[in-house]
Every structure is written in structure tokens, then in C-alpha cells.
Copies of this chain bind each other. A is one copy, B any other.
């Protein structure tokens, strides 16, 4: 198995302004080809710092992937750093320059000396074409490792990885069978509860590794079996009665967690619900109070969602609830805007007015203000209405405003998901 390290270059990644997301898809792509990313690091736009990171990584890993710092501006110094540390000076690569010129001219932009910088690559480097942008990538062999530089712009790096990098690694014989992993997404259980339920299922001494991750979207269970892990675990302990296949283990986990599992193929909640609505030929209309449009936003993130998302309304004020949904003023007065009764009336109102098959509503207190001892921040009601029946579900979430909004949207979509697959509540 090939070990890899990823180095993300960019001072803004260190200063707290932005997070490195490229390494996510790179790790996932490499894992599919049996390359295990053991370390990731982030360094600023500094020739010396990048040099130290590359030197350390090359001591440990056969493949060192660097993202970012290939652009034309003054703070893009990855080329210089790699040239310096490997002792392969930068030289103008005419083919790279031609491709840069062609792209710039096609976009009606001038070819400047600044842009020309991007055509200077370390001597002997293999050029990686950038079919989605300007800056070319490259790969150089140094000591016993491959040092590969990809652009920081995400969709450029993705394309370059698929079109140039993986073929290069294949030619070099660095790809091996995939690291096996499975991911199961749940909603409605605490991390500790998931852990307790799974304790008897996954033998601690087996070749499988269990990971739990709690977020506002629920608890994600990851099951991993890599040759590497297997070797290390076997070296430490003998294996007794371990399940022999990751898929059988996954089935056991899904059976144990039951209705709390919303996805076992990597789909998000909005993709799962969208697929269900599409398969059943149903449409949904949304009435959102505390989620403020987040449910509509999430459902419409999915391409083709116009087929089943009829419309949504965001009604913070009581007046908007009355005008847009026909919720009666007396109901609002009697029970308050955050109540099961109003949630039900909102769901019924949006369904009736839109003529969609299902009306889904949320009303709650996202905080930080607005809570009372009787109705605290985090109290949320979800309503669901169809032509035949309507019902509500109460949630009590914790956390900050943003987290409560996410949890509320996830809770509402989960109510819809369970109703669509006839699960219990």
C-alpha cells in the first residue's frame, strides 16, 4: 500500500479565514485507489516553510501532494519552493506557456509577464495539464518520492487529479486495491447511544475500524478495513469470531440502528428525500419559520429538484403566517407561534394553497434571544400535512443559532423521509 501526505499551501488557511477542502476529495479519490493518506498539513505562502513541509513529508511518504500556490500572483511560491528543495531549477516550459497563452486569449485576457510565471516548472518535471483553468500542475521525482503540485482552485484540482495524476500514478505502479470503507448516516440518536448499540457488533480486536462523528446533521458511522490497518491490528492481537466481510458488518450495523439510518451510500438527507419524492411522484411545499429558507435551499441544491419542490415560503412574522398560510390570528394568540398547533396549521396552509401533495412546516426558537423557561431556545415543532392526515413532531435541540437551524432542517427532512418510507416516529 502506498502512503501519501497532503500539503495545503496558503497563509489564509493558517490565519483562520478559510478551510482547506481540497484535501477531502483528494483523500477520497486516493483511497479508492488504495493510497492511504496518513498525514495532512497546512503551511503558509512561504518558500522556506513549504520546503520544510515537503522535506518532512518525503521522508515518510512515497507520494507528496501539494495543493495551492501555483497562481500568477506574488504570493504564489509553490513552484519556487519545490525547485529549491529538490535542487531542480525552474525553467520556462514552452508547451506550458503555449497552453496558458491559448487559454488567456480565448478568454480575451492579456498575456502578461505575471501570467508567464506559471509556465516555469522545475527541470525534468512532468507537466500536468489544467483543462479547467490556467496554471499547469507538475510532478517531479525526488529521492524515493513523487512530489506532485496541483492548483488550489477546487474544480481545477479535481479535473487534474482525474485526468492526469491518477493515470501517472497508474503508470508508475503506485495504485493498489482500494481501502475498503463504508459510511452510514444516522439522525435522531446521540453519539453515545450509537456507540452503545454498536459495541456488541464490532469486535475490538478484528480487522475493522469504527469511527463515529457527531455533527448537526446527525451521527455518521464509518467502517474501515485497510490492508494496513489489518496488518497492524493482526500484529497486536489475534482475531476471534470477526465478521469476514465489511458488507456483512455494514448490514448488521444498519439492522441495529434501524429507522435512525437515513443513508448508507453517501447520499445527503436532501438527496435521499428528493429521490423518494421523485420515485413516488410526489411534490412538497415548505413553510419555514425558524429555518429561514434553509430547507428550501437544501432541497434545491439537488439538480432536478424543480420536479418535486413546488414552492416554499419563509414566514418569520405572525402577519406573514396569516397572509401566506392562512394561520388564524386566534390560533397564534392562543398557543403562540412556536407550538404544535401552529406547526400543523402552517403545514396544512401551505399544502392547501400550493396544491402540493405534502406540506412540511417548521416553527421554533433558533436563539440566541426569544427563549422563555416554558419555551426554551431550541424548542422546534415540525408539521406534516397531506390530503388525508396531518401530524407534528416536537424536537429539543441544543447549540448555537446556526447549529439549531441546521438541526431543525435535518429534523424536518427526517420527518418527511420517515413518512415517505412508512417508518415509525
Chain A interface residues toward B at CB < 8 A: 10-21, 23-29, 31, 37-45, 49, 53, 56, 71-75, 109, 114-115, 153, 155, 181, 183, 191-192, 195-196, 204, 209-215, 220, 222, 224, 286, 288, 291-297, 299-301, 303-306, 309-317, 320, 323-324, 353-354, 367-369, 399-403, 405
Q: How many copies does the complex hold?
A: 2
Contact A297 B293 (CB under 8 A): yes
CB-nearest residue of chain B to A215: B18
| CA–CA, A21 and B402, complex, Å | 15
Contact A212 B73 (CB under 8 A): yes
| CA–CA, A24 and B19, complex, Å | 7
**Chain A contact residues, majority secondary structure:** mixed
| CA–CA, A191 and B152, complex, Å | 13
* Set B155, B214, B296, B367: member contacting A314, Cβ < 8 A: B296
Contact B21 A19 (CB under 8 A): yes
Contact B20 A19 (CB under 8 A): yes
| CA–CA, A382 and B219, complex, Å | 38
Given A18-B24, A73-B210, 14 other A-B contacts at CB below 8 A? A17-B213, A17-B222, A19-B24, A56-B56, A72-B192, A286-B293, A292-B301, A296-B314, A301-B401, A306-B317, A310-B320, A311-B324, A312-B314, A323-B353
Contact A12 B213 (CB under 8 A): yes
Q: Contacts A320-B354, A369-B303; is A14 near B43 (CB within 8 Å)? A: no
Q: How far is the CB of A5 from chain B (nearest CB, A)?
A: 9
Q: How far is the CB of A152 from chain B (nearest CB, A)?
A: 9
Residues of B within 8 A of A74 (CB): 195, 204, 210
* Set B11, B155, B296: member contacting A209, Cβ < 8 A: B11
Contact A222 B53 (CB under 8 A): no
Contact A303 B73 (CB under 8 A): no
Residues of B within 8 A of A320 (CB): 310-311, 354
Residues of B within 8 A of A181 (CB): 15
Cross-chain pairs A/B with CB under 8 angstroms, 16 sampled: A10-B211, A17-B220, A18-B24, A19-B20, A23-B42, A41-B41, A72-B195, A73-B212, A286-B314, A288-B293, A293-B295, A293-B297, A301-B405, A304-B369, A305-B316, A311-B315
